[in-house]
């Protein structure tokens, strides 16, 4: 297990962005100084993300690219083969981080198999690091105990003021895993929150920046999705906002267990 932070503190999420829209978003983010781009097989945008990266002219070694293996590709040799396909689409020889996007629904494919295969991809040089996404406390422990599981560096999970996933976050961090928080702005809900508005006014920043600062201050990597350069710039600047303990506590009190990403194949979540 890696104790040092492997991932850049902020990245650009690309979920739901396609074609020219994702190309423009990635290019403007890279222009602004982002170096961490998060995509996935399921997003169906790896090709466009790869084009934007190439057109940016930024040397590959300066970038941190994450992709994720979809749960249809967990059995036999598919984790490795599908990752090779992702690399082809992205136009790169390797990704910096490959995640299992969701644990196998109903445990149809044994976890020891696909974690082992993901580590095999790491040994083949297809990815520098491996990780998991949407894994519960019990699944984190199972993954870490699997062959190759010692190389897992992160669990990417939903984290925002209304779903704080406190037990899971603490468990991952206690195990030496970096937590990556997706949907940190709760798909825009944070913009209208009076608590975040008040705190934002005190700092001269937006409620969205307050939400990102709160996640980042919990030592969680943030990957907000944004297509507007002005918002991308503001998201980057949010990492410079320092919230007081009392401000952090006020946001902690907003936790309501409001889960956004909850497909029918999701695991039995921790309460």
Enzyme catalytic residues: 43
Q: How far is CA 144 from CA 2, 133, 203, in A?
A: 12, 13, 40
The whole-angstrom distance between residue 265's C-alpha and the CA centroid of its chain comes to 19
Nearest in space to 100 (alpha carbons), one of 124, 63, 66: 66
Structure token pair of residue 233: 């710039």
Q: How far is Cα 54 from Cα 43, in angstroms, rounded to an integer?
A: 19
The whole-angstrom distance between residue 114's C-alpha and the CA centroid of its chain comes to 19
| Cβ-Cβ contacts under 8 Å for 244 (sequence gap 6 or more) | none
The one-character DSSP state at 177 is P
**Cβ 158 vs Cβ 165: under 8 Å:** yes
Nearest in space to 119 (alpha carbons), one of 184, 178, 72, 69: 69
Annotated binding residue at 101? yes
Residue numbers belonging to the annotated binding site for substrate: 101
Q: Per the annotation, where are the binding residues?
A: 101
């Amino acid at each position: 297990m890696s104790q040092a932070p492997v991932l850049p503190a902020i990245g650009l999420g690309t979920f739901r962005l396609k074609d020219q829209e994702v190309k423009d978003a990635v290019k403007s983010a890279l222009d602004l100084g982002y170096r961490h781009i998060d995509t996935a097989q399921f997003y169906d945008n790896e090709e466009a993300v790869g084009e934007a990266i190439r057109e940016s002219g930024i040397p590959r070694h300066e970038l941190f690219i994450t992709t994720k293996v979809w749960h249809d590709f967990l059995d036999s040799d598919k984790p490795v083969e599908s990752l090779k396909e992702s690399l082809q689409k992205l136009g790169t020889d390797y990704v910096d981080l490959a995640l299992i996007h969701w644990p196998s629904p109903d445990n149809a494919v044994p976890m020891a198999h696909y974690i082992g295969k993901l580590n095999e991809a790491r040994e083949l040089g297809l990815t520098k690091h491996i990780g998991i996404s949407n894994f519960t406390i019990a699944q984190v422990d199972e993954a870490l105990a699997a062959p190759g599981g010692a190389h897992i560096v992160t669990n990417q999970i939903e984290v925002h003021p209304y779903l704080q996933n406190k037990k899971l976050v603490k468990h991952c961090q206690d195990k030496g895993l970096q937590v990556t928080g997706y949907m940190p702005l709760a798909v825009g809900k944070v913009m209208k929150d009076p608590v975040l508005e008040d705190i934002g006014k005190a700092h001269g920043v937006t409620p969205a920046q307050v939400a990102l600062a709160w996640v980042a201050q919990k030592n969680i990597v943030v990957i907000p999705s944004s297509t507007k350069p002005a918002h991308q710039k503001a998201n980057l600047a949010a990492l410079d906002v320092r919230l007081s303990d009392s401000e952090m506590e006020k946001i902690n009190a907003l936790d309501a267990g409001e889960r956004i990403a909850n497909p029918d194949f999701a695991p039995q979540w921790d309460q």
